[in-house]
Amino acid sequence: MAEEPGVVNPAVRVRGLTRLYGTRTVLDGIDLDMARGEFIALLGHSGSGKSTLLRALTGLDHDTSGHGELRVPDRRAVVFQDARLLPWKRVAANVTLGMRDTDARRRGQQALDEVGLSAHARAWPGRLSGGEQQRAALARALIRNPELLLADEPFGALDALTRLQMHALLRTLHARHRPAILMVTHDVDEAVLLADRVLLLDRGRITLDRTIGMPSPRDPATPAFADHRTAFLTALGISPQDRQQNTSGTKN
Amino acid sequence: MPPTAPDNALAERAHQRRTARRYPGRRRPTSRPPQARHGLRLGPKPRLPFAGAVGTLLLLGVWALASATGTLSPRTLAPPWTVPGTFWHLWTREGLAQHVAASLRLALASLAIGVAAGLVLALLSGLSRVGDALIDGPVQVNRSIPWYVLVPVAISALGIGDTMKTTMIALGVYLPVYLNTHAALRRIDARYVELAESLGLSRWTFVRAVVLPGALPGFFLGLRLATTSSWLALVIIEQINATRGLGYLMNQAQSYGQDDVVIVLVVLYTLLGLISDFLLRALERRALSWQRSLGS
Ligand SMILES: Nc1ncnc2c1ncn2[C@@H]1O[C@H](COP(=O)(O)OP(=O)(O)OP(=O)(O)O)[C@@H](O)[C@H]1O
Ligand SMILES: [Mg+2]
């Protein structure tokens, strides 16, 4: 059989991935290649199967059936929408949870430094603000040196201002550590602002796949940005009139 | 639709009407702008000083007053001021200290055995499916047997000695520990399970870092209920064929109609209960210090 087109030595390779809940097909033949260090954002309506795809890549989908080829790196890390820190462990212990290396403590401190939380290493997670908790969750993911970082609406629960700071932090961390990132988001602007490539998932199929190709940091006011935004909003079924009423994009 | 200017004006006038109704015959108070008016504070307010003791002292006062005026005959209830004298008499003449020590030994030994049994059974049935199949059913049956009807069974099986007494108290103790710990182990948050899987935690690390700390509040709840049951069981069990201990004194006092001794013994049981509860609370606060960070 002939070699299929795709990235050479990709970080993630998915072919014909199907997932069903009971008899309901949620993912319907997904093909996806992710290059090493590539940042992909995944857009799609609620219920389109974004979380299901992410869970399949994480290996957390015990309750689904299906088939397809799925090749992912061993070193994976997940960031959830809620920071999901264990309330009975201090921040530093949360970051190094389950790590057995001898220098886990030092590396934990280093990871907290990177996300600007070194002062809170000894705090209980319940004392942190929402943004700080999510930064601790980022540190917990990064310390594992992931080749693939999976994030399901990681900033969905944050206020707009905190979200902007988190965007900058995520860009910095991605530039420094170069993991492949697959980030689910509802926010078209967030997707176009951060990702190298943006995918649209519609009823279990990838229906739009655009490489953004603009230098970072990006300016949402540029025509190229507006072009990508329009393409995705149109594909999502948002008409130009709908957009008129909410000029700042999809941010609430 | 955003509120427009005429809407705002309407709202303002409506507000003025309401305010006029609330302060009839008076101008609206001018010292505060209307939007700073304080609402009714509905959350809990700080406790009054010595709130825990006020009601108790009041009741003691009523008791003393009723005894002093003769409303309460000493034959119904001995007056409170007999307590120190009777206590002193029991301590110096009747070897009260040994009796207290005997009761404490019995209670603490049974408590330790019962708590250990409840905890081990809860862990076995909460963490393994085989354990669950073997253990949970019988315990649920045991739960629906009133504890007191087991006393004659225990006496015919184990006699009337310390073995029976320890067993019966432990039986009253293990149940709340088991039920609350088991429920807490089963209630573990599915989100934390997902997190543990995504971090690739080993089974043992998962149990140690996620399951057990998550179940600790449930265990402490069970422990406090268990301690209360242990004192209750002690009072009942101790009076069976007693030769020493507070139960023995209680038997004696009842037979000879020594009401003042009965009161002293009630006070002693109360103190034991209060002290153990205080110690457990302190332990729980230390062990669960993270809970205060959740604003509970
Ligand atoms: N555990 C489950 N059991 C049965 N059906 C499920 C389960 N989880 C998800 N589904 C169904 O699968 C479909 C896709 O769900 P998924 O969570 O992947 O959507 P999503 O794109 O992440 O949506 P959202 O943007 O709202 O998070 C939905 O229709 C949902 O009802
Ligand atoms: Mg989702």
Q: How far is A247 from chain B (nearest CA, A)?
A: 16
Domain count, chain A: 2
Question: Residue A84: its pLDDT value, please?
Answer: 95
Determine the CATH number of domain B103-289: 1.10.3720.10
CATH of the domain at A208: 3.40.50.300
Q: What range defines the domain where residue A34 resides? A: 1-75+149-159+166-241
Same domain, residue pair A62 and A175: yes
Task: Give the model confidence (pLDDT) of A165-219 as tens digits.
Answer: 999 999 999 999 999 999 999 999 999 999 999 999 999 999 999 999 888 889 9
Domain range summary for chain B, segments of one domain joined by +: 103-289
What spacing in Å lies between the alpha carbon of A238 and ligand 2's midpoint? 20
Task: Give the model confidence (pLDDT) of B179-226 as tens digits.
Answer: 999 999 999 899 999 999 999 999 999 999 999 999 999 999 999 999
Question: Residue B35: its pLDDT value, please?
Answer: 60
Q: In this complex, is the C-beta atom of A86 within 8 Å of any C-beta atom belonging to chain B?
A: yes
Same domain, residue pair A61 and A154: yes
Question: Is the model's pLDDT at B46 over the cut of 90?
Answer: no
Which string of DSSP letters, residue by residue, matches chain B? -PPPHHHHHHHHHHHHHHHHHHSTTSPPPSSS-GGGPPPPP-SPPPPPTTHHHHHHHHHHHHHHHHHHHTSS-TTTS--TTHHHHHHHHHHHHS-HHHHHHHHHHHHHHHHHHHHHHHHHHHHHHHH-HHHIIIIIHHHHHHHHS-GGGHHHHHHHHHTTSHHHHHHHHHHHHHHHHHHHHHHHHHT--HHHHHHHHHTT--HHHHIIIIIHHHHHHHHHHHHHHHHHHHHHHHHHHHTTT-SSSHHHHHHHHHHTT-HHHHHHHHHHHHHHHHHHHHHHHHHHHHHTGGGGGGT-
Query: Which residue among A23, A28, A50, A152 is best mutated to probe the pocket of ligand 1, counting the most ligand atoms within 8 A of its Cβ?
Result: A50
Question: Residue B121: its pLDDT value, please?
Answer: 96
Same domain, residue pair A97 and A20: no
pTM of the prediction?
A: 0.79
Q: In this complex, is the C-beta atom of A19 within 8 Å of any C-beta atom belonging to chain B?
A: no
Task: Answer yes or no: is A246 within a domain.
Answer: no
| Residue A142: closest C-alpha in chain B | B199
Task: Answer yes or no: is A133 within a domain.
Answer: yes
Same domain, residue pair A47 and A138: no
ipTM, two decimals: 0.88
Question: Is the model's pLDDT at B261 over the cut of 50?
Answer: yes
Least confident of A72-86, A181-195, B39-53, B65-79: B39-53
Per CB-CB distance under 8 Å, the chain B contacts of A60 are: 194, 197-198
